[in-house]
């Protein structure tokens, strides 16, 4: 080809490239020079960029940060009383709506309300009974034959309810472990001779008051002695108020009688006016340790223990004529003739927080039991407030699972973090020293590492816990677990760091540093350590997940954190009981999920860091 033809071809090619670039303007991206991009970024920036390009690593980091926030911020905002238990709320499944009165019940125009631990029942103007809240052992499953009758009175125990018809018949439903929801034959025989005028229901027991002014109790009464009615009261009882261990009796002469396990305690503290029959009592209520009565002129008298300030009457109550009183587990409710309502005592569940809708209306009826308060206003509307449920249920002692998960997570995650820090410091020190100096130092340190690595961890931890566990406080026991975990688990990191140092110490920059007379410790810390820190960080993240699982396993076996202090491990001990696995799934699934999510997210973050720090990955 001639020079002219070559020139023509080159010109034509240049023209073609020019035309192509014009037609592709705005459609093709400018090619990225990867080498130029890497050149202007520091190694740490490259690692961060690579990590945040990994979507799975971002998911893991997000999940771990959420778990950390829930555990540490949640525990700071919601303190836990370690020794606090509430057996009456035991094994309550997750759920809310204890006080949410159904529309059907509202439309029926409720005239009476009674409530149990997780539910409420109401008597409508039509004589039918309505239920709401969380069903426990059939507490809200009203038998169909009940609403075929005309109901006059309702009463709720902890997990059962009874009703009285206009003809004096008594029926029940719900928890019947102690036959408290079934009228026994001996009570049926009494009802053939005496007419029922009132009913009561308490913690696993029921009672009736007859027109012969007698009270008869059935259900579980062995521990409370509620079936033993003092002879001086029987035949004089016109009204009664129930509590877990006592029944407060109003006698036909307006005096007060007390029966039950704590009879002596309340009688000892009985005010002089009541002891001397100087007042005519018309209504009464009683909590676990404190009682209240209303006299015929509308004044209230309280006595007993001053739990939650129950002995301190609310301001303004002395200026009102009180017509009725109700009691929860640790709070009182009083209704004045003017329609004004007073509430005082314990407010742990908001049972004193009267809704705005109620505060501006005249109240015509009140009800309170356990940790809830109810009011019916003059327009026929019913309102309930107080304990409305548990987000994650309760355990076998009635403790809030959500609170225990949060505080247990703080213990488990703290133990894992401290153990990893201890093991990292020991592993780094041994690995750096052994790899840099070599020789007899390397031999001694590596043999020592092998000896430590040969110890069976779980048997040793269990043995130590058995020997010294009973002599230690909970804090000392936690410290022991962290030290054992840290001192035993450093061997893998030491070997890994040693291998990296053996390769790094022969490189030119180390030889140059030695030639300049730089001290060995400076070379190790300032020149070699930064080159192996990526391995250390990845090892720490993966080791942290392992420490979480190890602590959970130790506590599960009973050799770690000991109840009542919570940890995810000891919360999992319920999984050993077939009854818990079958009926109370939230007691073992929830802590298991917490351990799984935390360990999984930490492992994902560790894998993401490993990939981000891999030089080969950076070249892709």
* pLDDT for the residue 525: 78
Burial call 528-545: b when 16+ CB within 10 Å, e when fewer: bbeebebbbbbbbbbbbb
394 to 85, 223, 275, 557: CA distances (angstroms):
10, 24, 42, 22
pLDDT digits (tens, 9 = 90+) for 300-319: 999 999 988 999 999 999 99
Which token pair is 19?
A: 């035309």
Q: Is the pLDDT of residue 593 over 90?
A: yes
Q: Give 520-569 as a DSSP string.
A: HHHIIIIIIHHHHHHHHHHHHHHHHHHHHHHHHHHHHHTSSSPTTS--HH
CA 185 to chain centre: 43
CATH topology of domain 95-220: Methylamine Dehydrogenase; Chain H (2.130.10)
Overall average pLDDT of the 511-540 stretch = 81
Region(s) of the chain under CATH 1.10.3720.10:
47-87+400-619
**pLDDT averaged over every residue in the chain:** 86
Q: Would you call the peptide bond into 436 cis, given omega within 30 degrees of 0 as the criterion?
A: no
Measured CA to CA, the distance from residue 207 to residue 240 in angstroms comes to 10
Higher pLDDT residue, 616 or 594?
594
% of the chain beyond a pLDDT of 90? 52
Listed range (22-36, 163-177, 371-385, 403-417) with the worst mean pLDDT: 22-36
Which residue is it, tokens 């002014």? 213
Region(s) of the chain under CATH 2.130.10.30:
95-220
Q: Is the pLDDT of residue 104 over 90?
A: yes
Of the candidates 428, 454, 434, the one whose C-alpha atom is nearest the C-alpha of residue 539 is 428
Task: Give the CATH architecture of domain 47-87+400-619.
Answer: Orthogonal Bundle (1.10)
Higher pLDDT residue, 557 or 578?
578
Burial call 83-97: b when 16+ CB within 10 Å, e when fewer: eebbebbebbbbbee
SS (H, E, C) 454-519: CCCHHHHHHHHHHHHHHHCCHHHHHHHHHHHHHHHCCHHHHHHHHHHHHHHCCCHHHHHHHHCCCC
Listed range (43-57, 225-239, 264-278, 432-446) with the worst mean pLDDT: 43-57
pLDDT digits (tens, 9 = 90+) for 381-417: 999 999 999 999 999 999 999 999 999 999 888 888 8
Which token pair is 345?
A: 């005592």
pLDDT digits (tens, 9 = 90+) for 317-370: 999 999 999 999 999 999 999 999 999 999 999 999 999 999 889 999 999 999
């Amino acid at each position: 080809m001639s020079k002219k033809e070559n020139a023509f071809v080159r010109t034509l090619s240049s023209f073609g490239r020019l035309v192509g670039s014009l037609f592709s303007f705005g459609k093709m991206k400018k090619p990225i020079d990867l080498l130029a991009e890497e050149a202007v970024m520091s190694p740490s920036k490259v690692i961060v960029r690579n990590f945040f390009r990994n979507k799975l690593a971002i998911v893991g980091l997000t999940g771990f940060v959420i778990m950390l926030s829930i555990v540490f911020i949640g525990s700071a905002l919601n303190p836990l009383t370690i020794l606090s238990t509430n057996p009456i709320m035991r094994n309550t499944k997750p759920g809310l709506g204890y006080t949410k009165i159904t529309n059907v019940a509202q439309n029926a125009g409720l005239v009476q309300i009674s409530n149990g631990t997780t539910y409420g029942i109401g008597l409508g103007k039509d004589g039918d009974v309505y239920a709401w809240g969380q069903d426990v052992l059939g507490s809200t499953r009203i038998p169909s034959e009940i609403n075929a009758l005309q109901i006059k009175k309702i009463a709720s125990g902890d997990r059962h309810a009874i009703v009285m018809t206009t003809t004096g018949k008594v029926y029940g439903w719900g928890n019947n472990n102690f036959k408290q929801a079934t009228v026994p034959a001996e009570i049926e025989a009494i009802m053939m001779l005496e007419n029922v005028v009132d009913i009561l229901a308490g913690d696993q027991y029921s009672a009736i008051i007859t027109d012969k002014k007698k009270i008869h109790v059935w259900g579980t009464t062995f521990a409370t002695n509620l079936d033993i009615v003092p002879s001086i009261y029987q035949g004089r009882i016109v009204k009664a108020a129930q509590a877990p261990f006592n029944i407060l009796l109003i006698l036909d002469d307006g005096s007060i009688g007390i029966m039950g396990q704590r009879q002596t305690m309340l009688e000892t503290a009985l005010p002089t006016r009541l002891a001397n029959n100087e007042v005519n009592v018309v209504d009464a209520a009683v909590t676990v340790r404190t009682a209240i009565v209303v006299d015929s002129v509308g004044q209230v008298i309280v006595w007993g223990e001053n739990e939650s300030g129950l002995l301190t009457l609310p301001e303004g109550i002395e200026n009102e004529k009180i017509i009725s009183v109700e009691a929860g587990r640790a709070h009182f409710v009083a209704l004045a003739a003017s329609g004004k309502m007073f509430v005082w005592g314990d407010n742990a569940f908001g049972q004193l927080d009267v809704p705005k809708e109620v505060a501006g209306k005249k109240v015509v009826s009140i009800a309170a039991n356990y940790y809830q308060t109810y009011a019916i206003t003059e327009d026929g509307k019913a309102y309930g407030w107080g304990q409305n449920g548990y987000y994650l249920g309760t355990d076998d002692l009635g403790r809030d699972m959500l609170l225990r998960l949060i505080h247990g997570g703080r213990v488990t995650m703290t133990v894992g973090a401290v153990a990893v820090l201890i093991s990292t410091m020991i592993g780094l020190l041994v690995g750096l020293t052994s790899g840099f100096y070599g020789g007899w130092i390397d031999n001694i340190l590596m043999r020592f590492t092998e000896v430590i690595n040969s110890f069976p961890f779980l048997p040793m931890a269990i043995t130590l816990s058995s020997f010294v566990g009973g002599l230690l406080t909970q804090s000392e026991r936690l410290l022991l677990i962290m030290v054992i975990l840290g001192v035993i688990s450093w061997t893998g990191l030491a070997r890994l760091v040693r291998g990296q140092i053996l390769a790094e110490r022969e490189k030119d920059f180390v030889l140059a540093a030695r030639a300049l007379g730089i001290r060995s410790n400076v070379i190790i810390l300032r020149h070699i350590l930064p080159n192996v820190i990526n391995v250390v960080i990845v090892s720490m993240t993966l080791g942290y997940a392992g420490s979480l699982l190890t602590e959970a396993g130790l506590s599960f076996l009973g050799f770690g954190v000991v109840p009542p202090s919570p940890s995810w491990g000891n919360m999992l001990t319920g999984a050993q009981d077939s009854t818990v696995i079958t009926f109370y799934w939230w007691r073992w699934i929830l802590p298991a999920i917490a351990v799984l999510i935390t360990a999984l997210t930490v492992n994902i973050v560790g894998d993401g860091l490993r990939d981000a720090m891999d030089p080969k990955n950076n070249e892709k």
